[in-house]
């Protein structure tokens, strides 16, 4: 059965109790994994406070700040992990960002700054973290990221984030090829639309969810727990033959032509 006892997992991207990363952290914990959690720091320490109290029941070994745009802070996270854990097994990359201006209206109006920032935070950060994690990952380890259908098809308003997800999915394949010989797997989950802080910035997110509820084979969208279950499976030895894949957890929406 799904058992992550003895595995150490770094989970990024928890902002609040709606975060997909929160769903994943809970399922990893339930399967027995020991957790390290990151939060995006702000000047007043509000995120730290919120995330600390949310994750307390999961008794994480570490709760560390990590803004992926801050190279020194990201490096320091992995140095701290090395000091505390030596090696570890699982890296959950569950973060993305694009400005509101970039998530509605015409795609061609994307600014250079907004485009590059979305790609940096939402796509490059996986490469950055994978490189820092590489010397620390145990054989049988796993990297997992979160993507969306807007990275392979045009979804209204998703715009630059679609480009970031396309790059992210290709990152997964290149990283899987590089990390495979060390028996480390790299996969992505492509989730159906879920109401979260990040998704509420996408113009018309409620319409998207409504459309999926009417069209997907299961006639609904998915929950953070369902995504968390698949994430836990992909990071477990049950998925030892799976790498370089994008697994859809979207109530089947992706197969529909009309």
Ligand X SMILES: NC(=O)c1ccc[n+]([C@@H]2O[C@H](COP(=O)([O-])OP(=O)(O)OC[C@H]3O[C@@H](n4cnc5c(N)ncnc54)[C@H](O)[C@@H]3O)[C@@H](O)[C@H]2O)c1
Contacts to ligand X by CB under 6 A: 13-15, 18-21, 40, 66-69, 94-97, 121, 146-148, 191, 193-194, 196-199
Min dist. Cβ of residue 59 to ligand X (A): 20
- Concerning whether 174 is annotated as a catalytic residue, the answer is no
Min dist. Cβ of residue 1 to ligand X (A): 27
Of these residues, 39, 115, 158, 248, which one is catalytic?
158
* Helix/strand number for the chain, H first, E second: 8, 7
Of these residues, 39, 148, 248, 253, which one is catalytic?
148
Contact status, residue 190 vs residue 149, Cβ threshold 8 Å: yes
Residue with Cβ nearer ligand X (114 or 193)? 193
Residue with Cβ nearer ligand X (116 or 182)? 116
Min dist. Cβ of residue 222 to ligand X (A): 9
Question: First and final CA of the chain: distance in angstroms?
Answer: 37
Residue with Cβ nearer ligand X (125 or 243)? 125
Min dist. Cβ of residue 15 to ligand X (A): 3
Q: Count other C-beta atoms under 10 Å from residue 56's C-beta.
A: 10
Min dist. Cβ of residue 103 to ligand X (A): 11
Residue with Cβ nearer ligand X (29 or 165)? 165
- 19 φ/ψ sector (left φ>0, alpha ψ -120 to 50, else beta): beta
CA distance 164 to 60: 30
- Concerning whether 148 is annotated as a catalytic residue, the answer is yes
Min dist. Cβ of residue 48 to ligand X (A): 11
Listing DSSP states for 188-248 in one string gives: EEEEPP---TTGGGSTTHHHHHHHHHHHSTTSS---HHHHHHHHHHHTSGGGTT--S-EEE
Rg, Å, the chain Cα set: 17
CA distance 114 to 160: 8
Residue with Cβ nearer ligand X (140 or 210)? 210
CA distance 202 to 205: 6
| Burial environment of residue 82 by CB neighbours within 10 A (0 to 12, 13 to 18, 19 or more) | middle
Residue with Cβ nearer ligand X (146 or 172)? 146
- Residues that are catalytic: 148, 158
């Amino acid at each position: 059965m799904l058992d992550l006892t003895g595995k150490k997992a770094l989970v990024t991207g928890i902002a609040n109790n709606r975060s997909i990363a929160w769903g994943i952290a809970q399922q990893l914990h339930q399967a027995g994994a020991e957790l390290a959690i990151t939060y995006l720091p702000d000047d007043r320490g509000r995120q730290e406070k919120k995330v600390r109290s949310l994750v307390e029941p999961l008794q994480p070994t570490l709760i560390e700040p990590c803004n992926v745009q801050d190279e020194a802070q990201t490096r320091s996270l992995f140095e701290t992990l090395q000091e505390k854990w030596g090696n570890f097994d699982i890296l959950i990359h569950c973060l993305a960002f694009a400005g509101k201006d970039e998530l509605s209206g015409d795609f061609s109006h994307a600014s250079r700054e907004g485009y590059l920032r979305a790609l940096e935070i939402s796509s490059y950060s996986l490469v950055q973290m994978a490189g820092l994690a590489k010397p620390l990952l145990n054989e049988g380890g796993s990297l997992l990221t979160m993507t969306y259908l807007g990275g392979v098809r045009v979804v209204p308003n998703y715009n630059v984030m679609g480009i970031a997800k396309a790059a992210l999915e290709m990152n997964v394949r290149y990283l899987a090829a590089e990390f495979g010989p060390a028996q480390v797997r790299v996969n992505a989950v492509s989730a159906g639309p879920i109401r979260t802080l990040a998704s509420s910035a996408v113009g018309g997110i409620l319409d998207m969810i409504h459309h999926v509820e009417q069209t997907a084979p299961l006639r609904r969208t998915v929950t953070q727990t369902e995504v968390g279950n698949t994430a836990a499976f992909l990071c477990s030895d049950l998925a030892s033959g799976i790498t370089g894949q994008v697994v859809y957890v979207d109530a089947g929406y992706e197969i529909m032509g009309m």
